[in-house]
Amino acid sequence: MNKRVAIVGIGCSGFRTTSTDLSYREMIFEAATKCYEDAGGIHPQSIDSFVASSEDFMEGISIADEYVPDQLGAVLKPVQSIAGDSLQGIASALMQIQTGQQSIVAASAFSKVSNLSHYEKVAAYATDPAYVRPLKEHPYFIAGLEMNRYLHESCSTREQCARVVIKNKYNALSNPRAVYGSKITTEDVTCAEPVCFPLGQFDISGHLDGAIVILLASEEKAMEMTDRPIWIKGIGWATDTPNLDSRKDGLGSALYAKLAGESAYKMAGIKSPVNEINFAEVDDTFSYKELQHLEALNLCGFGEAGKLLEMGCFEPGGELPVNVSGGSLGIGYLHEANGLQKVMETALQLRGEAGKSQLSGVETGLAFAWRGIPTATGTAVVLSNRL
């Protein structure tokens, strides 16, 4: 990597299933204020550029980019929106710093999904207008098909997927930002009403409102601003075709995660991810996705994730703790803010500020986010508290 970049500020607000008392702009204002405070009390005038991540339909506003600057203190500043997961927003912010034109860049994202009365109808608008949308199915049917295919190809089991839910919801009990934490059993998950077979109610992460702002800075600025910088060692993102019938490795694969991981590892100089990554926050929008993504990210062999999970490898005390924060199944699903949530939890662990969830002696963590149904886009980032 040609120029080192660090996370120097983190702020979040909300993390509630509904927030009738606040507009999303107020939520972002709170997150931004906390973030700037966290970065040593920086004034937004000193920030060079801003990147927001959002999608119009989720906000009920066309050209949602219009409403980005005011609550971030970014009026008359370079501001752009990435129509993608907020981890792609982090990638854009990182590239801006690496060009040398900017030194300090803020990335923001939010979810105000409680404003939506029918999320599935919005998600249906993301499916192909000619081939898929006319089927008038709940878009989660794609997740059902994927899960079926993944379980078949990898020889993983339904029960192993249930174990993911149990682990993440249990981990969430130690995280004050998590709202879907609970102690449940395999039967609770497998006997729950199926949504799109074999995907059941508990296999799907619940919606969540929240806003997150993260501040990145070049090495020189980071050293001035904070004594606990978290370095971005590598980042990678990839998109597979949106057509369900023409994905190169089939529906059971997560090729986007494989490609994103490979790029991030290459940039970070990681040759053996399983030995060099201490813990991972990996997308678990649906239970099977955690297993599928762990394999695609080369953190274990294909078809091994389920078995390793049963052996306790991915528990907080295991060899590779996964989603210690509770993940999306335990914390809640923040839509385009999903990526920043993963980065935030990873960075807090590396700072040693994860409270009851804190792991000991961690140096390098991986955050990975997927954009959800029906997309095939993912972003991976390797973070470390060592330069």
Burial tier of 156 (Cβ tally within 10 Å: 0-12, 13-18, 19+): buried
Total interface residues for another protein by CB under 8 A: 62
Residue 371 interacts with another protein (CB under 8 A): yes or no: yes
Which helix (H) or strand (E) element contains residue 199?
A: strand 199-200
Question: Checking DSSP bridges between strand 364-370 and strand 377-384, what pairing results, if any?
Answer: antiparallel
C-alpha torsion sign, points 291, 244, 370, 233: positive
Q: Which of residues 66-105 bind another protein (CB under 8 A)?
A: 66-70, 74-84, 88, 91-92, 94-96, 98-101
Give the range of 156-164, 187-195, 352-360, 374-382 binding another protein by CB under 8 A: 374-382
Residue 72 in contact with residue 104, Cβ under 8 Å? Answer: no
Q: Which of 21, 41, 43, 63 binds another protein (CB under 8 A)?
A: 63
Measured in degrees and rounded to the nearest 5, phi and psi for residue 352 equal 80, 30
Residue 128 interacts with another protein (CB under 8 A): yes or no: yes
Q: Which of residues 262-281 bind another protein (CB under 8 A)?
A: 263, 267
d(CA 25, CA 211): 9
- Nearer to another protein by Cβ, of 124 and 161: the residue is 124
In degrees, rounded to 5, the angle at the alpha carbon of residue 356 between the alpha carbons of residues 354 and 361 is 60
Residue 378 interacts with another protein (CB under 8 A): yes or no: no
Give the range of 62-70, 146-154, 176-184, 358-366 binding another protein by CB under 8 A: 62-70
Residue 243 interacts with another protein (CB under 8 A): yes or no: yes
Residue 238 interacts with another protein (CB under 8 A): yes or no: yes
Burial tier of 117 (Cβ tally within 10 Å: 0-12, 13-18, 19+): exposed
Residue 240 interacts with another protein (CB under 8 A): yes or no: yes
Q: Which of 141, 150, 202, 237 binds another protein (CB under 8 A)?
A: 237
d(CA 113, CA 212): 14
72: closest CA among 97, 106, 103, 21? 106
CB 231 to another protein: min, Å: 16
35: closest CA among 197, 124, 27? 27
Q: Which of 27, 166, 255, 369 binds another protein (CB under 8 A)?
A: 255
CB 158 to another protein: min, Å: 29
Binding site for another protein (CB under 8 A): 2-3, 55-58, 60-63, 65-70, 74-84, 88, 91-92, 94-96, 98-101, 122-123, 125-126, 128-129, 236-243, 248, 255, 259-260, 263, 267, 371, 374-377
